[in-house]
């Protein structure tokens, strides 16, 4: 019985696992590698990225060594990026042509001249140089960006069309002095929105300073109107980071609640650099907005509920069938055991011939 039960559980696990998940477990090998050639003006020689102390108006040359690790020719596209903050509260060095914050006076992407593409022969190592022109005006804090290297491969459909296969990044941090930069944050906007067809309130948090903000702890509350008694939405996130002079959308889930038109107040407390910063922003959700987002949320939920119903039905039917088979097999096994027991219980009957005592009369006897 335990054996059949084990088979039953394994089959249920197989069905549910293949129905609910589709997680790849493979990874492509690196076809090329990059290594920063640390210059003499590097602020910290132990760092593997560029952390260079510069002076106003100078031209700094940053060199990166590229190596082809394959037996095939590899083409690599090169681009300079300004660091921004992704919506998850992560510093993003990889996004190209990203929208830059209005407070960013000196975008790194506009300070660099570098070849747009390089070709590496099989097993070849080549050094590329990026020319960085430092602004004429002195600046405090840091300028943050990266040199972004992307492997390009022609598709079978068209020789002119290319697809991204692999990218690598070398971070670049430029500074002129050690002047202290005051920590500051602004909550510049709050509004209704959606992520993956789920209703959320989006709060645009801006770091208007030329410094990295690390390990931020954000506590957010949304109140109806001007009330401060009990928030209708609440969350808390830790270990968030922001690039200098950047803005990102912090999201507060409504826990699948529909939006209601009206006026709201967003209140935030951000713990960073040993300080607590209180931010507040009033916003309004208009009737048309609420109806639009709620309709999208409902439409997105229908296929999900239908699929969940189908999967549940399949699992239920499979469970009943397998349970019936297990029960039938177990019953058959019990019946066989009973038959064997009955056979062993019957003892063979020994048959003996009946003998009768006959007296033989002899002559002379009566």
Number of residues written out for the chain: 366
Residue 355, pLDDT score: 47
DSSP, res 305: H
How many other CB atoms are there within 10 angstroms of residue 214's CB atom?
A: 12
- The helix or strand, by DSSP H or E, that contains position 235, with its residue range, turns out to be strand 233-242
Question: Positive or negative, the Cα torsion across 83, 87, 90, 95?
Answer: negative
Residue 327, pLDDT score: 75
> What is the three-class DSSP state of 183?
coil
pTM given for the model: 0.72
Decide the pairing of beta strands 84-86 and 262-272: unpaired
C-alpha distance from residue 40 to each of 59, 113, 135, 140, 312 (Å): 14, 20, 20, 21, 65
For residues 115 and 73, the answer to whether their CB atoms sit within 8 Å is no
Enumerate residue ranges in the chain where pLDDT < 70.
Answer: 1-30, 154-165, 299-310, 338-366
Give CB contacts under 8 A, 24+ apart, made by 19-22.
19/311, 19/314, 19/315, 20/311
Decide the pairing of beta strands 233-242 and 125-133: unpaired
For residues 249 and 181, the answer to whether their CB atoms sit within 8 Å is no
Residue 325, pLDDT score: 78
C-alpha distance from residue 259 to each of 202, 203, 283, 293, 297 (Å): 13, 16, 13, 8, 10
For residues 245 and 210, the answer to whether their CB atoms sit within 8 Å is yes
Residue 170, pLDDT score: 96
CA distance 205 to 250: 7
For residues 269 and 290, the answer to whether their CB atoms sit within 8 Å is no
Angle 291-255-95 from CA coordinates, rounded to 5° = 85
Residue 156, pLDDT score: 55
C-alpha distance from residue 309 to each of 10, 25, 277, 321, 322 (Å): 22, 28, 46, 18, 20
φ/ψ of residue 267, rounded to 5: -125, 135
CA distance 268 to 258: 22
Residue 8, pLDDT score: 40
For residues 50 and 35, the answer to whether their CB atoms sit within 8 Å is no
DSSP, res 254: -
């Amino acid at each position: 019985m335990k054996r059949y039960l084990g088979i039953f559980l394994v089959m249920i696990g197989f069905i549910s696992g293949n129905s609910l998940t589709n997680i790849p477990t493979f990874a492509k090998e690196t076809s090329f590698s990059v290594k920063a050639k640390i210059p003499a003006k590097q602020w910290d020689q132990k760092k593997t990225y560029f952390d260079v102390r510069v002076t106003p108006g100078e031209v700094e040359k940053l060199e990166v060594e590229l190596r082809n690790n394959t037996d095939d020719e590899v083409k690599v596209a090169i681009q300079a990026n300004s660091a921004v903050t992704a919506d998850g509260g992560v510093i993003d060095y990889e996004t190209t042509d990203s929208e830059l914050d209005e407070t960013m006076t000196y975008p790194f992407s506009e300070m660099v001249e570098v070849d747009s593409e390089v070709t590496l022969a099989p097993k070849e190592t080549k050094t590329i140089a990026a020319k960085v022109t430092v602004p004429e005006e002195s600046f405090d804090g840091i300028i943050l960006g990266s040199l972004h290297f992307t492997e390009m491969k022609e598709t079978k459909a068209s020789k002119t069309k290319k697809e991204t296969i692999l990218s690598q990044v070398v971070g670049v941090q430029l500074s002129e002095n050690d002047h202290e930069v005051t920590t500051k944050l602004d909550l510049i906007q709050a509004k209704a929105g959606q992520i993956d067809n789920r209703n959320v309130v989006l709060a645009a948090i801006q770091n208007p300073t030329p410094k990295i903000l690390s390990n931020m702890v954000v506590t957010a509350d949304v109140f109806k109107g001007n009330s401060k008694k009990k928030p209708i939405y609440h969350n808390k996130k830790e270990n968030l980071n922001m690039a200098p002079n950047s803005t990102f959308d912090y999201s507060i889930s409504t826990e699948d609640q529909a939006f209601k038109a009206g006026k709201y107040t967003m209140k935030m407390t951000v713990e960073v650099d040993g300080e607590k910063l209180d931010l507040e922003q009033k916003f309004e959700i208009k009737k048309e907005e609420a109806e639009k987002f709620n309709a999208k949320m409902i439409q997105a939920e229908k296929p999900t509920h239908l699929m969940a119903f189908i999967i549940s039905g399949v699992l239920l039917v499979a469970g009943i069938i397998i349970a019936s088979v297990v029960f039938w097999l177990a019953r058959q096994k019990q019946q066989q055991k009973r038959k064997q027991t009955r056979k062993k219980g019957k003892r063979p009957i020994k048959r003996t011939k009946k003998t009768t005592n006959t007296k033989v009369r002899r002559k002379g006897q009566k």
